[in-house]
Amino acid sequence: MPSPYRALFAAPGSKGFSAAGFLGRMPLSMMGIGVVTMISQLTGRYGLAGALSATIALAAAVLGPQISRLVDLHGQRRVLRPATLAALAAAAGLLLAAHLRWPDWVLFVSAAGIGSVPSLGAMVRARWAAVYRGTPHLHTAYSFESVIDEVCFIFGPIISIGLSTAWFPEAGPLLAGCFLAAGVFWLTSQRATEPAPHPREHHDGGSALRSTGLRVLVATFVATGAIFGAVDVVTVAFADERGHKSAASVVLALYAAGSCSAGVLFGLLRPGGAPARRWLLGIGAMAVSMIPLLLVGNLPFLAVALFVAGLSVAPTMITTMALVEEHVPRAHLTEGMTWVSTGLAVGVALGSSVAGWVIDTAGARAGYGVPAVSGAVAVAVGFLGYRRLSRPAPVRGGSVEQHSERAERHVA
């Protein structure tokens, strides 16, 4: 591993919380696509599969920031364990209802309950921020965690789709639940690196969404999430139409591999210039990379196109987290990071739902129009909000040390 990454783990406890976060984030890439695979195998209804995946994402969008807000207020251990138990109970209900062919409304109720799953990525990044705030190591830490996210998306779909197609339909989501339980309970057992709660500052400061910069990021990432949600569902259907459904996991893994490769390289760099400008360029690159998908005619071409598309994902996400840390008070950092994930979750819900409907009515190839349109919307929203992101955020509640000097330390 290159030395900037090696240096991260000199901090006591950093290896443990990062490893636990990796394990607990595997369900992020396994649950949604596992539900799509499971339902499509059991019923053949991609519309229902996409709608259930969307329900999980929307429920997470509603519940996730509230859970993270409670974490900022009371601490990770006290909040994450009961939230995870609720999500696991709902996941068990979904698998049972699907297996026994219960009415659709039972599936949707269970899917909504899975939304109480905590945002492990935000929890781990908050621990890194507590360790390395104000140092260049924080940029490397955010890069490393983005790489971990992409590693999850490389192997998660392969494991989930592979198990559900080769063993039994419920196998993928079942293993995702096991990973979630193990990761959360391992992470919350590590008390020494848990960020201190901020009850007084949190009470006085209101919601993290009071930051105009955060609102721009969240709104843009709704459209960005629609790209991810649509690509997942359409790729499974595209591979299925060509008689190679299990190959969808490999194709989606290459999408994540492109992002992972770019994230590793980006973490070794110290990019100059304004982070807001880099962020907007990243959003534009993500949008442009969706255009070749409209021309796909076979799986090898699709795999290459998605790998290239992935190259812009991790650098954009790394810059996004740096912007959150710049614009959101420290007492609301976990909540602020979760709001970005919430924007993505809402977008995933919209993208997967619309893509499922397009597939059912016009076929899988037409479905790639959904991520192309979503990318264009992301660029438009990013341009409209760019000036708010490029302004220095005011110091609120004594929780954030920032302005341009701080921004350069963190992301330059």
What is the average per-residue pLDDT within 96-116?
90
Domains of the chain in start order, with CATH, are 13-190+207-394+405-409 (1.20.1250.20)
pLDDT in tens, 71-96: 888 888 999 999 999 999 999 999 99
- Model confidence at 407, pLDDT cuts 50, 70, 90, reads very low
pLDDT over 70 percentage in the chain:
91
**In the prediction, which pLDDT does 188 show?**
93
Residue for token pair 């899917």: 111
pLDDT in tens, 241-267: 888 877 887 888 888 888 888 888 888
On the question of pLDDT at 401 being above 60, the answer is no
Question: Nearest 5°: CA angle at 76, between 72 and 77?
Answer: 145
On the question of pLDDT at 190 being above 90, the answer is yes
**More confident of the two residues 365 and 286:** 286
pLDDT in tens, 232-242: 888 888 888 88
CA–CA dist 326, 88 (Å, integer) = 34
**More confident of the two residues 4 and 34:** 34
- Model confidence at 202, pLDDT cuts 50, 70, 90, reads very low
The mean pLDDT of the chain is 83
pLDDT in tens, 357-400: 888 888 888 889 999 999 999 999 999 988 887 765 554 443 33
pLDDT over 90 percentage in the chain:
25
**In the prediction, which pLDDT does 402 show?**
36
